[in-house]
A and B are shown apart, each in its own frame.
Chain A
Amino acid sequence: MTGTGADPAFLAVRGITKRFGGLIAVNDATLDVAEGSITGLIGPNGAGKTTLFAVVAGFETPTSGLVMLEGEDITGRRPHHLARMGLARTFQIVQPFAGLSVRENIAVGAFLRESRRAAALAVAEEVAARVGLTDQLDKPAAALTVAGRKRLEVARALATRPKLLLLDEVLAGLNPSEVRDIVPVVRAIRDSGVTVLMIEHVMQAVMNLCERVHVLAQGRIICSGTPAEVVAAPQVIEAYLGHGAAARLQGGAHA
């Protein structure tokens, strides 16, 4: 486990289980996110990554387990409360306020900390510059491209001035050049002092960005480590490619 010395982890997920009726979406998941890090959460489709995010961000109440932010138990708190505490999330399926302009969309996030409209709009402009949306500020959100909407998701979340940002597949559906454009944006966010936990399928970005990666498969954390360690781990290869794949791959390498 990461943890900085005796200090508790910045975000600590402890034994989270989430059942939907007979389905166990997340099964006894435990992970840590170190302050100031970019931590990845990867896993095959349907592994329970988004459900785990929803639990951490307060959109779902876990069946059992604990979520701690800076040593404080935040399990089951409402999303707006968590946002006030400095925990922001984006959505895998982008959720723009379609009837509003990009500027107004971001301002809704900024209003969390600013009570005056002028101040909120100023924050919106500043955040838009950070994610590269300055040229689109006055466009209706509905007119943005997929890449633009992903940036908008990040911008709105950033406007709430979070300590911890949960990014749910912000790179999914983007072409390689768009991915190359957003990777430095994510790194700059971390460098500005925001801890990032990201669900991501684009391995190029995960290898590039994350210091540490947790792998979720069938609701369980099956591996944690650096990106290089994780992609070499037999249980991870098997989770993605099927039982026996690791042995066959290794056998192939030896032959």
Chain B
Amino acid sequence: MTGRDLLPIAAFALIAACVPLFVTSNVVLNFLVFTLIIALAAQGWNLLGGYGGQYSFGHAAFFGTGAYLTAILQVRFGMNAYPAFAAGIALAALVGLAIGFMAFRSGLRGSYFALVTLAFAEVFRVLANASEVTGGAAGILIRLRADPLNFQFAERGTFLWVAAALVTLALVATLALERSRLGAQLVAVRENEAAAQALGVDVLAVKLRAIVLSAGMTGAAGGLYAQYFLYLDAQIAYGTWISVEALLAPIVGGAGTVFGPVLGAVILHGLAEATKTIAGRIPGIDLVVFGIVLILVVRFPPRDIPGLLKRWRR
């Protein structure tokens, strides 16, 4: 990694840091924080799905685990928010390792892997909905104590800084992965498993490392969500909405690229907000937009756009 590689990330951090200085509208700040949380979750998905080609439909399993443990350790065990957040990330990574070990060791790939991850996330959702420790269907509420020592902030702008800092960290980590041996081997596994094996790549070990990093990063997004909204229930934490968001953003923005997930999250949520403003609060209108964008992206892959433009100009 050289200074020049880090330049776009530094630019992102600088812009994000300046936003709270100029924007005071709570609605806008709220939108930005939420988008950054999604971007972080999506960046986690991108490590495994974008670089490794292992498409998970169940990243909610990691998001929810990070979120719930962050909340439960504070509410039920009186732990400070920061170690609780760290523990949430660690447990999410561990859940990733467990799911990955079961799925990858049995050689599950493609749609089979996607279905298994989806099933795990759904099992977690049902369990969280029924369990005592998660607050069951009533959900769990983190007590409002706006103090930086509690990982809570009176100003939304401050929280935006924290979220942007975590996303920046995720971008740097992704760039470092891209330039590392693990990154090269992960992409090789995505492109051709047999060829990667022949070149000495331990496919199982590479996939497991990727899913651990991926799950930890998405778990961090979950913990951040818990600290920002201070309320969780099973549908929020383990719902399919976050699995879909986590994979849609990178696919729209560019899977297997450093900035894809951030770009995708901004595009998707920007469009959804714009539609809501124009079309009014029709329930589910944002999902309709997501669907249309997804169809367009699959039909006209962004990497083909320069070629398409050239053809139209003729």
Contact = CB atoms under 8 A, between A and B. Distances in A.
Interface of A: 57, 59, 78-80, 83-84, 88-91, 95-100, 104, 107-109, 111-112, 114-117, 120, 156-157, 159-160
A95 B199 contact: no
Interface stretch (B8-16, B37-45, B186-194): B186-194
Contact of A83 (B187, B190, B191, B199): B199
Nearest to B179: A117
A80 B203 contact: yes
B132 to A, nearest CB: 45
A59 B197 contact: yes
Contact of A160 (B187, B190, B200): B200
Contacts of A100: 187-188, 191
30 contacts: A59-B194, A59-B197, A59-B198, A78-B197, A78-B202, A79-B200, A80-B202, A83-B198, A83-B199, A84-B200, A88-B198, A91-B194, A97-B187, A97-B188, A97-B195, A99-B190, A99-B191, A100-B187, A100-B188, A108-B184, A108-B199, A109-B199, A109-B200, A111-B181, A112-B200, A117-B180, A157-B198, A157-B199, A160-B199, A160-B200
Contacts of A83: 197-200
B198 A108 contact: no
A181 to B, nearest CB: 23
A104 B181 CA distance: 11
A154 B128 CA distance: 53
Given A99-B187, A100-B191, A108-B188, A117 B181 contact: yes
Nearest to A83: B200
Interface residues of B, number: 20
Given A108-B184, A117-B181, A117-B184, A91 B195 contact: yes
A171 to B, nearest CB: 19
B194 A95 contact: yes
A117 B185 CA distance: 11
Contacts of A79: 197-198, 200
Nearest to A153: B195
Given A78-B197, A104-B187, A112-B200, 7 more contacts: A57-B198, A83-B198, A95-B192, A108-B185, A108-B201, A112-B201, A159-B199
Contacts of B195: 91, 95-97, 156
B184 A115 contact: no
Contacts of A156: 195, 199
Contacts of A99: 187, 190-191
A84 B199 CA distance: 9
